[in-house]
A and B are shown apart, each in its own frame.
Chain A
Amino acid sequence: MPPKRKNEIAISVEDVGMEVDVVSDSGSEDEARRRAKNRRVKPQRKAKRVSSDEEDEEDEAPRKRGRKKKAKPRDSDEDDEEDKRTKEESDEESEEDRGKTKKRGADEESLSEGEMAALKEQVEEKKKLIATLRNKPWRMKRRLVLLKEAQEFVETFEGALGKGKGRKLYAYKVMMAKKVIKFKRDFENFKTACIPWERKIKEVESHFGSSVASYFIFLRWMYGLNMVLFGLMFGLVVLPEILMGLPYGSIPRKTVPREEQDTAMDFSVLNDFGGYCKYSFLFYGYFNNERRIGLLQFRLPLSYLLVGVGIFGYSLMVVIRTMARNSNEGGDGAEEGEFTFSWKMFTSWDYLIGNPETADNKYASITTSFKESIVDEQENQKDENIHLRRFLRVLANFLITCSLGGSGYLIYFVVKRSQDFAKMEKENLSWLEKNEVEVVMSLLGLVCPPLFETIAELENYHPRIALKWQLGRIFALFLGNLYTFLFALFDEVNEKLETEKSIRNATIWALEQYYANYSSHFNTTDVPPPNVQPADVIRGPCWENAVGIGFVKLIVSDMQVTYLTILVGDFLRAVIVRFLNYCWCWDLEAGFPSYGEFDISGNVLGLIFNQGMIWMGAFYAPGLVGLNVLRLLSSMYYQCWAVMCCNVPHERVFKASRSNNFYMGLLLLVLFLSLLPVVYTIMTLSPSFDCGPFSGQEKMYDVVMETIEQDLPSFIANIFTYATNPGLIMPAVLLMVLALYYLNAVSKGYQQANIDLKRKMKMVSMSVLLHVPSFSNISRVQDQTNDCAVYSWTL
């Protein structure tokens, strides 16, 4: 059925906006108008009637441009119409237009139901045209003409449609729809205007290309994420405690103990986050365990727990949503080597480059990559000594594993030593001994990556594979360091728990003594609470505070080391190279030190791990998230300045686009790994008896159970009991596993179908080539799913 097929093709071409006529659209207004009219009146999916064949002009005037659904007498008209694409038709159309406007008044009353429906369809179609106009590769003039005509049509006939029953409602609906569209557009504009640092990033992009700028875009995204986390933590936990809770000094946990009070304001103590810092809202220990506080009866312990867990939930949701969006944009995912040369040709230029020096670098790198790939293609596998290569690779891996193990042990050793130091008097320790842990961890993070790179030269991999190995190793390094730190910290926690037991027993014993003395002395059973100053009460060791302080110190020192590295490694180096160059034997700028390049992967990994530490520490130190927001803000300005001032564009400028999801994947992994310790501590360790919002409970999650039992209606408690029954959870887990398996199988099926279709397409094109000399009309219909792209070829 040729006409019908043509219709479908016409539809899809319209949607896609390709020029069916090979003649490129330049040319006069008239021609444009004619073609515009032809395209405009082409049906989307339904038949179209030709005016001249109509007998009843009067009544059917509104119907002339109408769409009727597959009525039989129309088919012949369809054929005629499809074949007639001449000026005649367009002239008739324009006459018809004019005629219509004149007849409009007379015809409105005679609209019947069917005609109304037809008109409504037309109006909808015009609206769709308006929405897709920007996707057509036509000139602005032509599009403006079309837009005006379509808008006029919609306006005039929308009014006409409103006659009759429900007219007011219809008019109202139309007006609301218009307002909604305008509101949406304004909102989009507003959202784009709100995005910060757009100019800055654009400047970096034009100088360094899109790969360096992708780091700053990632940084900005992290900043947004942290702002939301900060809002949650601050608004739901810190503010209620400050506004509605007890003030400083009223209860023991909020007061600096008597023995520390003289040194509480010293800078060195504050720098270590002791003194007034420790007994402030920045840390876990400050929060009171009252079930409800203030006017609003705000349940602070419950809120603390829920926010602590909710931070992970929100971060997870955001990361996965971003990953999904990135993977959608990523094209249909051809295999790695399928279109190497074509992609190099057509997509290697970065149009954002606005700087001549960067452009020169880009030219050089493109040339090199062309030459390399030509050579790669020509030469076969070199008959190298495989055994030597394998031996070297094994040796390199062994060396690197040794260094990873060594760094892990070093951290463990240092943390253990710091626990011993903590027991000694503070004045006898040097600064180095006090901050040993952080210094060692930061130094390891600085020294090991270049070490890995040098060892990796033994392996002799292709640069892209070598980069992946390098990233994997740095990831393992950071992960190992972090987890060793955590394990060492847990040892400390367990020790503190032991001390706590004894102190708690001592406190209870002292209280009982007091009661016994009082009642025996005054001979009464109504004993008032002991009148002790909050600063003098015996305190437990409060292990959560120790953990929180550990994390805060780590992050602060990490930040200091990063900034210092940039200052020394980039800025000082640039200053030395620039100014010593005048009096040095060799050319410093071209030769040995020269200016630094921006280390994208190192910086991105640093950012990811910093975020991991924040996630781990936020539960024990609510102020940490605020600290991180400040850190990211200052980092953005500082690094933008440093990169524009001291760095040069990469010699090998490469794209970061495909690795975007790689870094998101790393972030997701780090999120899970930082979730584990927090959930473990919530579930297994018992909270301190005298500090924090969960003091007095057996386990931290008891708050939730308590709330369910006491505050919510009883049937909800029943629901929870049923829901947590293992007999229900096991089938649910089984169901999810089966669903995963099914989706995996479906995805494999789609991939196979895709391959088969590609093969068929090649065969079809070959056979077409044999039968037809030239070959011009093609179209493409894209499926909704991401995995399938269906191509159909026609004549």
Chain B
Amino acid sequence: MGTTASQLGKDMLSEYQELTFLTKQEILLAHKRFTELLTKDEKDLPNTRVSEERILTLPELKSNPFRKRICHVFSTSEYKDGSLTFEDFLDLLSAFSDSATLEIKSHYAFRIFDFDDDGTLDCGDLEKLVNCLTGETDDTRLTTEEMRQLISNILEESDIDKDGTVNLSEFQHVISRSPDFVSSFKIVL
């Protein structure tokens, strides 16, 4: 169960096709790009894990403000260090692919935005989210007052049960209405 050496077995390929939203070419391309990240000796081992820093050198992820969260969410490592195996990488690409359904995308979007991994989006999560979106520099950040206003507006709109947090179904309710979400939540190699 996993990739051996630098070739992807035919039966594994067809299983991956069955289990992800990717086409055969996309899986092969993903395999190629993934093995480029490995060092020489790692290439022969099955099921290698690639560390987060190396994953983040991929140009598709480098400029993304949520890159660390993405690695963290899709990682299956016990140490929670954001390292990915090839199958995690395929999971990532499948969720971000063009043909993935709204349910899968919104599920993963919620987990990416949930910075403290507690299953809900509370004020701390939302604040970190806004800071990610407005960039790292000081002149683009919002003031505390603006931040407070923004978060209260958001909670007013999406928090239906008024518990001060946005849970998965409220999030999915908001997201399913948006016409932009599916087309913007896409990463293509």
Chain A residues with CB under 8 Å of B109's CB are 346
Taking a contact as CB atoms under 8 Å apart, the answer to whether A144 and B63 are in contact is: no
Check: B45 CB closer than 8 A to any chain A CB. Answer: no
Some 20 contacts from A to B, beta carbons below 8 A apart, are: A17-B107, A24-B111, A139-B76, A139-B87, A144-B19, A331-B176, A339-B177, A342-B174, A347-B175, A347-B180, A352-B186, A358-B63, A363-B133, A366-B134, A370-B130, A657-B180, A769-B161, A769-B162, A775-B163, A778-B168
Q: Cα distance A141–B15 when bound, in Å?
A: 12
Q: Tell whether A189 pairs with B24 under 8 Å between CB atoms, given A140-B88, A370-B146.
A: yes
Max chain B CB contacts within 10 Å: which of A134, A143, A210? A134
Q: Which of A137, A347, A354 contacts B185 (CB 8 A)?
A: A347
Check: A16 CB closer than 8 A to any chain B CB. Answer: yes
* Binding stretch for chain B, among A86-94, A371-379, A606-614, A635-643: A371-379
Taking a contact as CB atoms under 8 Å apart, the answer to whether A780 and B169 are in contact is: yes
Taking a contact as CB atoms under 8 Å apart, the answer to whether A137 and B62 are in contact is: no
Check: A228 CB closer than 8 A to any chain B CB. Answer: no
Shortest distance from the beta carbon of B162 to any chain A beta carbon, whole Å:
7
Taking a contact as CB atoms under 8 Å apart, the answer to whether B126 and A345 are in contact is: yes
Shortest distance from the beta carbon of A12 to any chain B beta carbon, whole Å:
11
Q: Tell whether A210 pairs with B142 under 8 Å between CB atoms, given A188-B23, A331-B177, A333-B177.
A: no
Shortest distance from the beta carbon of A194 to any chain B beta carbon, whole Å:
11
Check: A538 CB closer than 8 A to any chain B CB. Answer: no
Q: Main secondary structure on chain A at its contact with chain B?
A: helix
Shortest distance from the beta carbon of B4 to any chain A beta carbon, whole Å:
15
Taking a contact as CB atoms under 8 Å apart, the answer to whether A134 and B94 are in contact is: yes
* Binding stretch for chain A, among B32-40, B48-56, B151-159: B151-159
Contact with B along A336-369 (1 / 0, CB 8 A): 0011111101111111111110111001101100
Taking a contact as CB atoms under 8 Å apart, the answer to whether A349 and B154 are in contact is: no
Check: A31 CB closer than 8 A to any chain B CB. Answer: no
Q: Cα distance A22–B168 when bound, in Å?
A: 10
Closest A-chain residue to B181, C-beta based?
A: A347
Q: Cα distance A339–B107 when bound, in Å?
A: 19
Check: A405 CB closer than 8 A to any chain B CB. Answer: no
Chain B residues with CB under 8 Å of A206's CB are 59-60
Q: Which of A19, A374, A775 contacts B149 (CB 8 A)?
A: A374
Taking a contact as CB atoms under 8 Å apart, the answer to whether A141 and B76 are in contact is: yes
Q: Cα distance A739–B66 when bound, in Å?
A: 50
List the 5 closest A-B pairs by CB distance, nearest first. Answer: A363-B135, A334-B177, A140-B87, A359-B63, A778-B169
Q: Cα distance A332–B15 when bound, in Å?
A: 33
Check: B21 CB closer than 8 A to any chain A CB. Answer: yes
Q: Which of A192, A329, A352 contacts B23 (CB 8 A)?
A: A192
Shortest distance from the beta carbon of A220 to any chain B beta carbon, whole Å:
15
Q: Tell whether A341 pairs with B186 under 8 Å between CB atoms, given A334-B177, A354-B62.
A: no
Q: Cα distance A147–B173 when bound, in Å?
A: 30
Check: B64 CB closer than 8 A to any chain A CB. Answer: yes
Q: Which A residues fall within an 8 A CB radius of B? A: 16-19, 22, 24, 26, 130, 133-135, 137, 139-141, 143-144, 147, 185, 188-189, 192-193, 202, 206, 210, 329-334, 338-343, 345-356, 358-360, 363-364, 366-367, 370-371, 374, 377-378, 655, 657-658, 761-762, 765-766, 768-769, 775, 778, 780, 789, 791
Q: Which of A26, A358, A371, A780 contacts B172 (CB 8 A)?
A: A780
Taking a contact as CB atoms under 8 Å apart, the answer to whether A775 and B24 are in contact is: no
Q: Which of A345, A761, A768 contacts B129 (CB 8 A)?
A: A345
Chain B residues with CB under 8 Å of A791's CB are 173
Taking a contact as CB atoms under 8 Å apart, the answer to whether A345 and B161 are in contact is: no
Q: Which of B24, B94, B133, B178 contacts A339 (CB 8 A)?
A: B178
Q: Tell whether A192 pairs with B25 under 8 Å between CB atoms, given A143-B19, A147-B19, A343-B178.
A: yes
Contact with A along B4-22 (1 / 0, CB 8 A): 0000000000010111110
Shortest distance from the beta carbon of B171 to any chain A beta carbon, whole Å:
7
Taking a contact as CB atoms under 8 Å apart, the answer to whether A141 and B87 are in contact is: yes
Q: Which of B90, B134, B168, B186 contacts A351 (CB 8 A)?
A: B186
Q: Which of A137, A345, A358, A374 contacts B146 (CB 8 A)?
A: A374
Q: Which of B25, B150, B171 contacts A193 (CB 8 A)?
A: B25
Q: Tell whether A371 pairs with B91 under 8 Å between CB atoms, given A333-B179, A359-B63.
A: no
Q: Cα distance A192–B174 when bound, in Å?
A: 32
Q: Tell whether A134 pairs with B130 under 8 Å between CB atoms, given A351-B187, A364-B140.
A: no
Q: Cα distance A765–B171 when bound, in Å?
A: 15
Shortest distance from the beta carbon of A154 to any chain B beta carbon, whole Å:
12
Taking a contact as CB atoms under 8 Å apart, the answer to whether B17 and A141 are in contact is: no
